[in-house]
Chains A and B, each alone.
Chain A
Amino acid sequence: MTRKIFKGFAILTSLLFTFSLAQAEPKKVGFIYVGPVGDFGWSYEHDQGRLAVEEAFGDQVETSYVESVPEGADAERVLTQMALAGNELIFTTSFGYMDPTINVAAKFPNVKFEHATGYKRADNVSTYSARFYEGRAVIGHIAGKMTKTNQIGYIASFPIPEVIRGINSAYLHAKKANPDVEFKIVWVFTWFDPAKEADAAQTLIEQGVDVIMQHTDSTAPMTIAEEKGIFAFGQASDMMEFGPTARLSSIIDNWAPYYVARAQALLDGTWESVDVWDGISTGMVEIGEFSDRIPEDVRAEAQAMADSISDGSYHPFTGPINRQDGSAWLGDGEVADDGTLLGMNFYIEGLSGSIPN
Chain B
Amino acid sequence: MLVFERRREPSKFWTAITPVLAVLVTLIAGGILFAILGKNPVEAIKTIFWAPIFDPNLSAYARPQILVKAAPLVLIAIGLSIGFKANIWNIGAEGQYIMGAILGGGVALAFYPLEAWWIFPLMIVSGIVGGIAWAMIPALLKIKFKTNEILVSLMLVYVSEHFLASVSLGLLRNPDGVGFPGSRNLQHYVSASNGELFAGTGIHLGVIVAFVSIFALYGLIRFHRLGFQVRVTGQSVRISRFAGVNPNLMIIFCLAAGGGLAGLAGIFELSGPAGLLSIDFNVGYGFTAIIVAFLGRLNPFGIALAALLMSLTYIGGDLAQFMLNLPAAAIQALQGMLLFFLLSMDFLSQYRISIKHWARG
A residues lining the B interface (CB < 8 Å): 30, 36-37, 64-74, 76-78, 80-82, 84-85, 95-96, 99, 103, 119, 158-161, 189, 342-345, 356-357
Contacts and interface: CB of A to CB of B under 8 A. Distances in A.
Interface in B263-291: 269, 272-276, 278-281, 283
Contact of A71 (B278, B315, B318, B319): B278
How many of chain B's residues touch chain A, expressed as a range? 35 or more
Contacts of B272: 73
Contacts of B325: 64-65
A357 B169 contact: yes
B322 interface: yes
A84 B318 CA distance: 13
Interface of B: 57-58, 61-62, 65, 68-69, 162, 165-166, 169-170, 173, 178-182, 185, 187, 202, 269, 272-276, 278-281, 283, 314-315, 318-319, 321-323, 325, 327-329
A189 B165 contact: yes
Given A64-B323, A65-B322, A345-B179, A81 B273 contact: no
A72 B279 contact: no
Contacts of A345: 179
Given A72-B278, A96-B280, A159-B169, A85 B180 contact: no
B325 to A, nearest CB: 7
A73 B57 contact: no
B321 A65 contact: yes
B328 A67 contact: yes
Contacts of B173: 357
Contacts of B170: 357
A137 B314 CA distance: 42
Nearest to A67: B328
Contacts of A67: 321, 327-328
Given A77-B65, A158-B165, A70 B280 contact: yes
Contacts of A159: 169
Nearest to A28: B322
B329 A72 contact: no
Given A70-B283, A357-B166, A76 B273 contact: yes
Contacts of A81: 58, 61-62, 315, 318-319, 322
A357 B178 CA distance: 15
Given A345-B179, A357-B170, A30 B283 contact: no
A302 B314 CA distance: 47
Contacts of B180: 95, 119, 160-161
B269 A73 contact: yes
Given A68-B328, A158-B165, A84 B61 contact: yes
A96 B328 CA distance: 19
A66 B47 CA distance: 14
Contact of B278 (A77, A78, A96, A342): A96
Contacts of B319: 81, 85
A72 B275 contact: yes
Contacts of B328: 36, 66-68
Nearest to B171: A357
7 contacts: A67-B328, A72-B278, A77-B318, A78-B318, A85-B58, A99-B275, A158-B165
B270 to A, nearest CB: 9
A343 B178 contact: yes
Contact of B179 (A71, A78, A343): A343
Given A65-B321, A66-B318, A77-B318, 4 more contacts: A70-B280, A72-B278, A74-B314, A78-B318
B178 A161 contact: yes
B280 A160 contact: no
Given A72-B281, A343-B179, A345-B179, A99 B58 contact: no
Q: Tell which of A72, A103, A342 has the most Cβ of chain B within 10 Å.
A: A72
A96 B274 CA distance: 11
Given A36-B329, A72-B275, A72-B280, A344 B321 contact: no
Contacts of B283: 70, 72, 74
Contacts of A84: 57-58, 61
A34 to B, nearest CB: 8
Contacts of B274: 72-73
Contacts of A37: 327
A48 to B, nearest CB: 16
Contacts of A30: 322
A71 B280 contact: yes
B162 A189 contact: yes
A103 B278 CA distance: 17
Q: Tell which of A67, A69, A96, A342 has the most Cβ of chain B within 10 Å.
A: A96
B306 to A, nearest CB: 19
Nearest to B200: A107
A4 B274 CA distance: 62
A340 to B, nearest CB: 10
Contacts of A64: 321-323, 325
A66 B166 contact: no
A84 B185 CA distance: 25
A161 B329 contact: no
A178 to B, nearest CB: 30
Contacts of A343: 178-179
Nearest to A118: B180
A352 B17 CA distance: 63
A95 B279 CA distance: 11
A76 B187 CA distance: 13
